[in-house]
Amino acid sequence: MPTIAVLGTLDSKAEEHGYVAETIRARGFETLLIDVGTGQDPKISPDVTRQEVARAAGIDLDELMQRQDRGECVVAMSEAAPILLSRLVEEGKIDGVISLGGGGGTAISTAAMRALPIGFPKVMVSTLASGNIAPYVGVKDIAMIPAILDVNGLNRISKLIFSRAAGAICGMVDASVDSSNEKPVIVASMFGNTTKCVNEAKRILEDAGYEVLVFAATGSGGRAMEGLIESGMVMGILDITTTEWADEIVGGVLNASPERLDAMAKMKLPAVIAPGCVDMVNFGSRETVPEAFADRNFYIHNPQVTLMRTNTAECAAIGKILAEKANANNAPVAILNPLKAVSEINGEGKPFHDSEADDALFNAIRENAQVEVIDHDLEINDPQFASAAAQKLLELLKRT
């Protein structure tokens, strides 16, 4: 019998979570009530106590609660709940998770949900769901349902919303996915300026029997790709477009966090990396570019997107980071350098051609990399470079 975790503060929101649990059980599912409250004693008996949740992170909750700092308690539970839920998923003890909450409850429960694999059913009924939910969802598939009213007791509106949410999580858990014809998965990163390369490499890899999932290197896209890699669904990585590191280092708007490129090492997966589009930093419209960059080389991609050329020092820093990230992976890795152009607008005679900056990039990669580095006297969008990248990844996959 599938089991759905009902996660929440069972002191202030006990009645609401109890109602959802009853609704789920009425549909033929088991429930696991998990208390993450830190106020008064729980008003209904949980299956997993708040102390057990806290102990998952080595936290003495009783000692913490004596300080009566609600913010500190919320932070602590936001650290502990992800550990506990991840463990329950790994042990096969739960098949879905649902929660209801305001600010504190949403912070705790979505932190736990973000730690779970993509595809694992997750529903959050929240008073915050009608606003900017990016901090709560991140790059995970959390279904956010607006609570409409405050999560404060049961009435004709809240019962309607909670019942529909309970039905949603039951439907997610009950839904089957036909995986009989699934192929092994490779993930790839792409930008408009590397589209030709990635599309050609994708064709070659698909002809070899793989399913290639392409992510836009737009910050959120890079984070989503990292998340999928960590889910365990991926066999290989074609990270052609590492441009998000240019934004991370320089201060552009499409950075993907300092953890970008860490998932491959964590999961020990074969990877081919290229410094695709690291010649550019992304900003919004031209007037949004910080004044400190006024004397730099710009390319107006469209009225909403301004690209700025990375300089020599920045390219050297990017090359060093790419090498260090590759070095951290114990699986087979290769870095391919397209010496004639790292993007569509980087070649000779193009707006972002800068041989000194490019040399700094490639030299930093060569000097710092402890993995295989292959120079190709080609532009990144040359079909020969795309073929070389795809064939190298196929070779690395055979070694694992």
Residue 60 has pLDDT above 80, yes or no: yes
Residue 141 has pLDDT above 90, yes or no: yes
Residue 305 has pLDDT above 80, yes or no: yes
Residue 49 has pLDDT above 80, yes or no: yes
Residue 311 has pLDDT above 80, yes or no: yes
Answer for the pair 390, 335: CB distance below 8 angstroms, yes or no.
no
Tell me what pLDDT residue 167 has.
Answer: 98
375, HSE (Cβ side, Cα atoms, 13 Å)? 12
Geometric angle at alpha carbon 343, from 342 and 349, rounded to 5°: 95
Average pLDDT over residues 113-141: 93
Average pLDDT over residues 343-349: 96
Euclidean distance between CA atoms 155 and 16, whole angstroms = 10
Answer for the pair 325, 262: CB distance below 8 angstroms, yes or no.
yes
Beta-bridge partner residues of 323: none
Indicate the range of 171-185, 202-216, 235-249 predicted with least confidence.
171-185
Euclidean distance between CA atoms 260 and 256, whole angstroms = 6
What is 3-174's CATH topology? Rossmann fold (3.40.50)
Tell me what pLDDT residue 64 has.
Answer: 85
- For the structural domain made of 185-399, what CATH number should be given? 3.40.50.12030
In the chain, CATH 3.40.50.12020 covers: 3-174
Q: What is the mean pLDDT of the chain?
A: 95
In the chain, CATH 3.40.50.12030 covers: 185-399
Tell me what pLDDT residue 178 has.
Answer: 78
pLDDT (tens digit, 9 = 90+) per residue, 219-253? 999 999 998 999 889 999 999 999 999 999 999 99
Answer for the pair 271, 396: CB distance below 8 angstroms, yes or no.
yes
Pick from 22, 23, 59: nearest CA to 44: 22
Q: What is the number of residues in the chain? A: 400
| Cβ-Cβ contacts under 8 Å for 310 (sequence gap 6 or more) | 246, 250, 278, 279, 280, 281, 318, 357
Tell me what pLDDT residue 275 has.
Answer: 98
Euclidean distance between CA atoms 58 and 63, whole angstroms = 12
Tell me what pLDDT residue 355 has.
Answer: 97
Cα 138 to chain centroid distance, Å, stands at 7
- Provide the whole-model pTM: 0.81
